[in-house]
Structure 1
Amino acid sequence: MMSCGSGARLGRSPRTRGRPTFLETLPTPPQPLPRFAVNIAPPDLSPWLTDHGGIPGIIHREGAQPGPHVVLTSLIHGNEYAGAVVLDRLLREDIRPARGRLSLVFANPQAFARFDPDNPVASRFVEEDMNRLWCRQVLSGPRRSVELDRARAILPVIESADILMDLHSMLWPGTPLILAGRMESGRRLAAMIGDPRLIVSDHGHQSGPRLIDFERFSAPGSPAAACLLEAGAHWNKDTVEATDHAVRALLRHSGLLPADEAAPLPPPRHMMVTDIVTAQTPRFRFVRPFRGGEVIRRRGTLLAQDGPDEIRTPYPDCMLVMPNLRPGLGQTAVRLATVVPESVPPTP
């Protein structure tokens, strides 16, 4: 089981130590964020946030035949609502599973209610990041917050999931991908979905375990599987459609919707995170605005300066996973990944 606050650095360190100069010891003002365009309107979720015979903000649909319990979670971060647009679409289409159970989760409606298009990054959460709390010790402990109380409220649904896909999007530009976590089950689930075709295995964040790292999906021998979709930029229409494609692919392959007769997709590309680069100073700066999914061909290429330290690629053909172009002190700035040559056949 993943311990609270754990993270991993698996490869050769990309950080080269240097001696700080006088200028580097001076205080540095935070880097201002650019103005982000909001090209999709927040969905009207009012029909789904009342009590539907269970937990407010969670809608269940039952199939006539036995099958897996598939859980789709959106709004773990309140300003990432492309997934909520898709779940709202499924509900308004009155999608009914042919078998099993489908649960649609609007996880953090309080953060979502604070969304302001003039400051769209401000409603990621109310008090703390809801995607760093999924640890048994934290969930059963005495501490309280808006996000922690809500995580405890939706926990019974998470505990009963056989398959879970957590729907997210990206602040900075990047290639859509599926995060498979550290488990083989997550990797196979991502390969089964097949769209997007980029799969990234990782070991999470130092600041706390994500929903896909929860013991239901990461304990040895657990039959449940989870993955996390990063479908593109937060407020782009293409992100909504990428989310829709992935969700329906999951529902088809898990048997909740009829199978698709379309030709099979090419095998996915699988990458493994080897290094997590955390900003150790407030002076972290990338040398240029890298894009997520970008592959740096040469070993030793300078990526960033962090105070006196240089961050360089530790090996050739190094992929940058979701670089945070304005990291704060202690935040993940970028994850570095290498290709996994063997392919994983999707689970039938």
Structure 2
Amino acid sequence: MIGDDSLSVELEAPDIARWRGANTGVDYVHCLDSGRPGPDAMINALMHGNELCGAVALDRLLQAGVRPTRGRLTLCFVNHEAYDRFDPSAPMLSRFVDEDMNRLWTADRLDAPPTTVEARRAQALRPFFDRADRLLDIHSMGTRSQPILLVHGLPKERRLARAMGYPATVACGSGHVQGRRLIEYGPFNDPAGDKVAVLVECGHHWSRGTAVVALDTALHFLRALDMLDPGVFREHASDPDPVEQTMLEVTHGYTIRTDDFYFTARFDGLERFAKAGEVFAVDGGEEIGTPYDDCVLVMPNHRAVRGQRAFRLARPVVE
């Protein structure tokens, strides 16, 4: 089948039960305060319960006793109830309990009486997100794409991405069709405010290398904020000197229109098409081609169905 994104589960889901008890009064939320002035930073894992890499990264940071050199760092295992249901023989089934937790970050949803596991957890975590100055949300993907840092596209987000210098690709713009992601939550998405959130897609959900990317991204995030001892960074980072970044501007987000959609080849993401008009997908018999030269396919979703986003298209930013 073209677009089959199956891959064996190479990662072992860490036992995070030891991190349930926390010093914040909220399960699985740990606050590490340096006692010195500095950023109020936060790193998330497990927005989706089957995305193991962030859990591995936070587990390692906590086990290693990493502490911020200034400011305050909060480490959060977000949807632990979905994660508790993870089964490597059916790894897609624990993405969430009742609803996708990364689609409900609007004031009306957060202010309403919660009716799902995810909504209740979001309300419990909201004060931490309201407090945070800088946020890294760790995710993974359904294809073997190289890692991508996603930002909505505001100048403050681009500056943080450049300061991190990792991973090698940054995609600016939503291309999103359903709900609001956490990085688009009001305080972070306010152009006039100084709060900044970025989301990293570390690679395929269960590839061993995805956990390495997750930890490296967290370390580069903390280094960019000048919150990490250089010796600790060198000790734990597998990629301390990354290559120069490529910045992409998302121009299109495509929603499937029919029950007969397919990609024309095995696309993993970040494929570049030299010329406009190159066909890469078909929807209800209608060919879909690149709208301009030097077009980049971002995060193709081979499991998407009618009404869901199938891909984003982007062009490289010339700076």
TM-score by length of 1: 0.86
- The 1:117–1:258 alpha-carbon spacing in structure 2 relative to 1, beyond 3 Å, is same
Retained in 1: the 8 A contact 2:5–2:142? no
Q: Distance in 2 between matches of 1:241 and 1:42?
A: 14
Compared CA separation, residues 217 and 283, structure 1 to 2 (3 A): same
Residue 57 (structure 1) aligned with residue 32 (structure 2): no
Counterpart among 140, 143, 153 of residue 182 in structure 1: 153
Matching residue within 73, 86, 89 for 2:44: 73
Partner residue, 2:279: 302
SS in 1 for 2:57: helix
Instruction: Name the amino acid aligned to 1:139.
Output: L
Q: Is the 8 A contact 1:185 1:226 kept in 2?
A: no
Q: For residue 290 of structure 1, what is the amino acid of its counterpart?
A: F
**Does structure 2 retain, via aligned residues, the 8 Å contact 1:42–1:81?**
yes
- 2:170 is aligned to 199
User: 2:206 corresponds to which letter in structure 1?
Assistant: W
> Is the Cα–Cα contact under 8 Å of residues 204 and 213 in structure 1 kept in the other structure?
no
Q: Are residues 1:256 and 2:233 paired?
A: no
* SS in structure 1 of the partner of residue 19 of structure 2: coil
Deviation at 1:257, TM superposition (A): 0.7
Indicate the structure with greater helix content: 2
2: CA distance between counterparts of 1:35 and 1:175?
A: 16
1:322 aligns with 2:310: no
Alignment partner of 1:222 is 2:193? yes
* 1:1-348 matches, cutoff 5 A: 35-259=6-230, 265-342=242-319
> How much does 1:203 deviate?
2.2
- Give the count of matched residue pairs: 313
- Given the superposition, is the C-alpha separation of residues 289 and 264 from structure 1 closer, same or farther in structure 2, using an over 3 Å criterion? closer
Aligned equivalents of 1:191, 1:252: Cα separation in 2 = 12
TM-score, normalised relative to structure 2: 0.93
8 Å CA contact 1:78–1:108 kept in 2: the answer is yes
More relative contact order, 1 or 2 (CA 8 Å, 6+ apart): 1
Aligned alpha-carbon RMSD (Å) = 2.0
1:179–1:227 Cα contact (<8 Å) kept = yes
Q: Does the residue aligned with 1:329 lie in a helix, a strand or coil? A: coil
Structure with greater Cα Rg: 1
2:112 aligns to what SS in structure 1? Answer: coil
Give the partner amino acid of 2:309: T
Given that 1:300 and 1:312 are in contact with CA atoms closer than 8 Å, whether structure 2 keeps it comes out as yes
Asked if the contact 2:149/2:169 (under 8 Å) is kept, the reply is yes
Q: How far apart are residue 79 of structure 1 and its match? A: 0.3
